[in-house]
Structure 1
Amino acid sequence: MAEAANVRQNLQNVPSIFEISAAETLDNLIYPALSKIFDYFGLRLDFKLWGNIRVNEELSPLVTWVLQYLYLRKRASSFGESFYGLQRTVTATGALLSRQQQFQSATLLTLLPYIERKLRTRSAQHDNTYAWETQLINLFHIYNASKAAHTFLYLIKYATSHSPLFRALRLTLRYPSEPPKEDKWTYLFLKLLEVLAFFLQFIQWWYSNDQRRKLGGSLQNPEPLKQSQLSQELQQTEPKRGECPICLLVLQTPTACAVSGYVYCWKCIVTHLKQHGSCPITKYAITLEDLVRIYET
C-alpha cells in the first residue's frame, strides 16, 4: 500500500514535457559553451601517452562531468533540471539517488552526447569510417527513436519516465517536496552557476553559424587577387573561367565557399578541407558547413 501511494504521489508530482525539454536543452549547452571558452584560452590536454600515441583532447567533457556530478550529489538533479526546479527520484519508492545512481547519471549525461557528437563530426569529415562507428551511429538513431516513443507515452501519462535511460535506471523526474538542505556557501556557489546559465545560452547563440551569418560573419569577403599580385608561376597555372582552382579542370559539381566566395569541384575542396581546413586561395579557416552546392539553371 505504501509503495503504491508513493507511485501515485510521484505521478501526480511530475513536471510537464516542456519543462523537461527545457532542462535537457540547458544541459546540452554546457559542453559547447565550455568548449568555446577553453578554445579561447587554449586549454587542452596535450601529452604523449605511449610511443607515437599522443593525447590531444579538450577539457570540456571532464568539467561537464564534474559539474553534473556536483549537482546530482547536492540536489539530486542535473544542472538543467536544478535550474527548472526538478529532482530525480527512484520511481518505486520516491527516494533520492544513491551514490551509485549519482555516478551513473553524471556519466550518462556527459558520455552519451560526447560520443554521439564525436561520431557525427568524424562521419561528416571523413568519407571512410569504421564499421563499428557506423553501427554506433545506428544505435544512437535507435535510441533517439526510443526516446521519442517514451516522450509520447509520458505525454499521455502512460509511462512514469520520459526517457529509456530513466527507465533503465528506474528513475523519474518530479518537483521536490521540500527545498534541498545545503549550507550557505554551497547554495551561493550553485546559485552562481545557475546565473551563468544565461551566459551559456548567450555564448551558444553567439557562436552558432546561423547567427554569425545573419550578422555578416566575423570575416570580410576577400578582394579578388590582382594580376600584379600573382607570381609568374601562379599566373601560368591560374585557372580559366569555369575551371577549378585546385585541379585546373572543368568544374565538376560546382561548390562555393561561403567564407571566401571561390568555387571549386566538390571532391577537390572536400579533399583539401580534410587535409588543411582552409580555403586554398584565401587561407581562411572553413568547415564543411561553409560549402554551398551551386545548381545551374
Structure 2
Amino acid sequence: MAELGAHLAAAAPGHDRPSIFEAVAQDSLMAAVKPALQHLVKVLAEANPGRYSFLWRWFDEVYVVLDLLLQQHCLARCSASFSENFYGLKRIPLGDRRQQPLATAGLPKRQHCKSLLLLVLVPYLKGKLEKLVSSLRDEDEYSIHPPSSAWKRFYRAFLAAYPFANMTWEGWFLVQQLGYILGKAQHHSPLLRLAGVRLVRLTAEDVQALEKRSAAAPSSQALSIKARVQAAARTALGGIACSLSTGLSVGVFFLQFLDWWYSSENQETLKSLTALPTPPPPLHLDRGGATSALLPKLKTVCPLCRQVRVNATALSTSGFVFCYRCAYSYVKSHQRCPVTGYATELQHLVKLYSPES
C-alpha cells in the first residue's frame, strides 16, 4: 500500500515535484543523526572523562559548527542540504518558471545565506529552548525557592505558555504539509518558504554535472600565491565537509541496522544474547574504605551538614539519605552523589516519609 501511494505521488502532475514521502523522509534524516552522535559522545565521555568530557559539555556548539560546514559544502556543491541531496533533491529559487538550472550552478547568494541560517540556526535554537524548558521543569519540581518569589512566578508562567507556543509551531508545519499533499502549497515546510526556495528532483543532467565536477581536478599552475592559499583553504574545508557527508551516509545505514536490531521481533534474541548475571551489591562503606569517613556514625545524621536530618531525602542512584536542602544544593551544583560520586540528577531525589509523619 505504501509503495502504491508513493508511486501515485511520484506520478502526479509536475514530475519534478518530490512526493510528501521523500520530503518528510529527508527531514527526519538529520533529526535522527544528532541523537545518534550525542549518544556516541556520551559513551566516549563516560569511558574517558578526562579526554572527551568537553565534547559532552559543548556538544551542541561542536555539532552546530560541523553542521554548518556540512550544509555549506552541500549547498555550494549541489544546491541542497545534506539530507536533500541524499534523497536526490535540490533547491531552486521560488517563482523560477524557466528551465531548471543545473544543481552545480548553486543558489543565488540571498537564498543561499537564508537557507544556511535556517538549516543550522533554527534546529540549534530549538534544541537549546527544549533544554531550557526541561531544566526549568526540574527547577519547578525540585526547587527550594519559595513559591512567592518573582523568579519562580516567571518561569512558571513561561512553562505554562511554552506548550501553546510549541503547539502553534508544530501546527504551522502540519498545515503546510497538508497544503503540500493537496497541491495547494509549493513547500512542505515553512522554512523553505522563508528561505525563498522550493524542492525539486535532480535531473539526469544534474547527476552528470555533479559527477563531472567531482572528477575534475583544479589546476593550480596559473594561480597566484593568495589564490592558491584560498584554494587550499577551500579544499581543506571541502574535504572536512565531504568526510562528514560520507561518514553520515554510512551512519544512516548503520542507524537503520540498529533500528532493525532493536525492533520488537529481535528483543527476545537480544535478551538471550546480552543476559548477564546480576552484579553483587557494593560493600557497605561503614566497613572501611576511603569514603567511610564521610558517613556519620549516627544513622539519623545528614552526611553533608552533620546535623539531624530534616525532610529526609534519598538518592536513588546510591541509596544514601540526606536533608532535602543539602541534597538538592549539592546535586544541582555537582551532578553526583556526595558519598559515592555516582552521576546524579535532581529527578533522582526521593522524599522519604516516616510512619509517624
Classify the TM-score, shorter chain: 0.5 to 0.7
Where do 1:92-103 residues align within 5 Å? 92-93=95-96, 95=100, 97-103=107-113
Moved more, 271-280 or 32-41: 32-41
The answer to whether the aligner puts 1:184 opposite 2:243 as a matched pair is no
Deviation (angstroms), 1:61: 0.9
Measure how far apart 1:281 and its partner are: 3.5
- Map of 1:286 onto structure 2: 344
Q: After superposition, where does 1:238-257 map in structure 2 within 5 Å?
A: 238-239=299-300, 248-251=309-312, 257=316
Give the percent of matched residue pairs that are identical in Structure 1 and Structure 2: 23
Aligned residue for 1:234?
295
Corresponding letter in the other structure for 2:68: W
The answer to which of 98-107 and 228-237 deviates more is: 228-237
Matched, 1:25 2:36: no
**Conserved 8 A contact 1:91-1:170:** yes
Q: 1:271 to 1:199 in 2, by over 3 A?
A: farther
SS class of match (2:88): coil
Structure 2: runs of 5+ lacking an equivalent: 1-11, 45-50, 102-106, 140-150, 217-237, 260-266
* Structure richer in helix, relative to its length: 2
The letter for the 2-side match of 1:184 is S
* Partner AA of 1:196 in structure 2: V
Counterpart of 2:191? 165
Q: Match of 1:59, SS? A: helix
User: CA contact under 8 A between 1:150 and 1:164: conserved in structure 2?
Assistant: yes
1:76 aligns with 2:106: no
Equivalent residue for 1:105, pick from 115, 139, 142: 115
Given that 1:150 and 1:162 are in contact with CA atoms closer than 8 Å, whether structure 2 keeps it comes out as yes
Are 1:225 and 2:267 matched, yes or no? no
Uncovered stretches (5+) of structure 1, i.e. residues with no partner: 1-8, 46-54, 206-210
| 1:155 maps to which of 178, 181, 184 | 181
More strand by share: 1
Of stretches 221-230 and 70-79 in structure 1, the one that deviates more from structure 2 is: 221-230
SS at match of 2:92: strand
State the alpha-carbon separation in 2 of the partners of residues 185 and 227 from structure 1: 70
Distance apart, 1:79 and its partner CA: 0.9
TM-score normalised by structure 1 residue count = 0.66
Q: 73-82 vs 21-30, which deviates more?
A: 21-30
Bigger-Rg structure (1/2): 2
Once the two structures are TM-superposed, the CA of residue 70 in structure 1 deviates from its matched residue by 0.7
Partners of 1:169 and 1:10 in 2: CA distance: 25
Task: Show CA shifts across 1:146-178 (max 9, x none).
Answer: 112212222232221111111222322221223
Q: Which residue does the alignment assign to 1:208?
A: none
| TM-score normalized with structure 2 length | 0.56
* Equivalent-residue separation in structure 1 for 2:253 and 2:352 (angstroms): 40
1:4 is matched with which residue? none
The letter of the residue matching 1:89 is: I
CA contact (8 A) 2:118 2:195 kept: no
User: What is the total number of aligned residue pairs between the two structures?
Assistant: 266
RMSD over aligned Cα, in angstroms? 4.8
